[in-house]
């Protein structure tokens, strides 16, 4: 659902054989737009010129170039088998705000009810079910900018199951509550990036999976559109980090693994090693030390597979 966060994980250059460790670039921006968040726009913006302020007649001339283009790429709207009762079909009605409604009415209440099409003067179009003079039930809204929402409505708000399609190809398919993504859903972008998981009040929040177009992926906890909590991030080249995160950064206890078998267990802060840790090699060597702001500090111990120990002292990441 934050700001851009592209953090660097530094696998610190220590003395001698430690120099083999790399610098890793963590790509934690949660969208193909390289900004966090890029949450697909929801109905709230459209409601500024609300359904109560709509207009038009059943003609594409009443739609603008963006909404016409969007509609041309869609199948005709399907009302399904739901039947309407005690309603009357009337000729097109021009409303006080210069909008036009074409469809069924509850004449006793002078309210739109049943099936109907509503065009706004800026080119938006809603087609679907109405009750209490508001969209209620299943319907499709084509925004004036070409974005489309199709799904369930409750009192003029997206509520229930629905799909939001951005004109550029981005898409959200999932649950809505009071015009916001809420519950389980899938969000996809034109470059192939995808999020699957939980939402709360329009934010990625709870457990989820994010897949980037380059093959990077993260699975774990999210909070207000940020990677936050416990989770695992995988790089395309096979490296991974599993542990605690805070605001898109490694923060807390974690485990960093390299494809060649090297593993670091320890404490991170703001994407840097910060605290006690153990670095292990596939051949059985282990180094016990303490890091501060990404640099090895104080004394450290190398334990060889034979059990032999080598002591050393470091300051600012350099051997003394």
Using one digit for the tens of pLDDT, what is the confidence trace for 246-297?
Answer: 999 999 999 999 999 999 999 999 999 999 999 999 999 999 999 999 888 8
If you average pLDDT over residues 48-64, what whole number do you get?
A: 51
If you average pLDDT over residues 287-315, what whole number do you get?
A: 86
Q: What angle do CA 54, 161, 78 make, to 5 degrees?
A: 60
107-111, 248-252, 281-285, 306-310 — which is least confidently predicted? 306-310
Please determine, for residue 31, whether its predicted confidence score (pLDDT) is greater than 80: no
If you average pLDDT over residues 109-117, what whole number do you get?
A: 96
Q: Per the domain annotation, does 163 fall within a domain?
A: yes
Q: Of 47, 64, 45, 71, whose CA–CA distance to 122 is shortest?
A: 64
Length of the chain: 320
Please determine, for residue 57, whether its predicted confidence score (pLDDT) is greater than 80: no
How high is the mean pLDDT of the chain? 83
Q: Per the domain annotation, does 156 fall within a domain?
A: yes
Q: Per the domain annotation, does 17 fall within a domain?
A: no
Q: Per the domain annotation, does 1 fall within a domain?
A: no
Please answer whether residues 184 and 174 qualify as being in contact, where contact means their C-beta atoms are separated by less than 8 angstroms: yes
**Burial (Cβ within 10 Å: 0-12, 13-18, ≥19) of residue 305:** exposed
Taking phi over 0 as left and psi of -120 to 50 as alpha, with beta for the rest, 129 belongs to beta
Q: Per the domain annotation, does 140 fall within a domain?
A: yes
Q: Per the domain annotation, does 204 fall within a domain?
A: no
Tell me how many domains the chain contains: 1
Residue 159 belongs to domain spanning: 40-184
Q: Per the domain annotation, does 161 fall within a domain?
A: yes
Q: Per the domain annotation, does 90 fall within a domain?
A: yes
Q: Enter the pTM of the model.
A: 0.79
Contacts of 20 (CB under 8 A, 6+ apart): none
Q: How far is CA 181 from CA 66, 163, 185, 210, 295, in A?
A: 24, 10, 8, 16, 42
Please answer whether residues 216 and 27 qualify as being in contact, where contact means their C-beta atoms are separated by less than 8 angstroms: yes
Task: For residue 144, give both structure tokens.
Answer: 């004036």
DSSP-assigned states of every residue in the chain: -----EEEEE----SGGGGGPPEEEEE---STTSSS--PPP-HHHHHTT-GGG----SSGGGS-HHHHHHHHTSPPP--TT----S-EEEEEEE-TTS-EEEEEEETTTTEEEEEEEEE-TTS-EEEEEEETTEEEEEEEEE-TTS-EEEEEEETTEEEEEEEEE-TTS-EEEEEEETTEEEEEEEEE-TTS-EEEEEEETTEEEEEEEEE-TTS-EEEEEEETTEEEEEEEEE-TTS-EEEEEEETTEEEEEEEEE-TTS-EEEEEEETTEEEEEEEEE-TTS-EEEEEEETTEEEEEEEEE-TTS-EEEEEEETTEE-
Q: What is the pLDDT of residues 188-237, one digit of tens each?
A: 999 999 999 999 999 999 999 999 999 999 999 999 999 999 999 999 99
If you average pLDDT over residues 153-157, what whole number do you get?
A: 97
If you average pLDDT over residues 141-170, what whole number do you get?
A: 97
């Amino acid at each position: 659902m934050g700001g851009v966060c592209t953090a660097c994980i530094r696998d610190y250059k220590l003395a001698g054989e430690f120099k083999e460790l790399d610098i890793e670039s963590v790509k934690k921006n949660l969208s193909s737009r390289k900004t966090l968040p890029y949450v697909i726009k929801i109905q709230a913006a459209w409601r500024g010129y609300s359904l109560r302020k709509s207009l038009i007649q059943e003609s594409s001339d009443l739609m603008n170039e963006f909404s016409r283009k969007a509609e041309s790429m869609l199948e005709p709207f399907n009302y399904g088998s739901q039947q309407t009762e005690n309603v009357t079909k009337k000729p097109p009605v021009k409303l006080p705000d210069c909008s036009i409604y074409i469809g069924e009415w509850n004449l006793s209440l002078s309210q739109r009810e049943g099936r109907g099409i509503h065009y706004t003067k800026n080119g938006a179009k809603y087609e679907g079910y109405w009750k209490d003079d508001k969209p209620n039930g299943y319907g499709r809204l084509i925004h004036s900018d070409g974005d489309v929402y199709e799904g369930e409505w409750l009192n003029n708000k997206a509520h229930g199951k629905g799909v939001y399609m951005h004109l550029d190809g981005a898409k959200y398919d999932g649950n809505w509550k009071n015009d916001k993504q809420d519950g389980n859903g899938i969000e996809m972008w034109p470059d192939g990036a995808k999020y699957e998981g939980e939402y709360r009040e329009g934010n990625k929040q709870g457990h989820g999976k994010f897949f980037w177009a380059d093959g990077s992926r993260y699975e774990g906890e999210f909070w207000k559109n940020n990677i936050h909590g416990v989770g695992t991030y995988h790089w395309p080249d096979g490296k991974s980090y599993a542990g605690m995160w805070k605001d898109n950064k490694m923060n807390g206890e974690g485990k960093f693994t390299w494809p060649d078998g090297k593993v670091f267990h320890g404490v991170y802060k703001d994407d840097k090693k910060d605290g006690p840790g153990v670095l292990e090699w596939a051949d059985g060597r282990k180094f016990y030390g303490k890091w501060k702001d990404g640099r090895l500090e104080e004394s450290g111990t190398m334990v060889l597979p034979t059990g032999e120990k080598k002591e050393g002292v470091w300051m600012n990441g350099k051997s003394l």
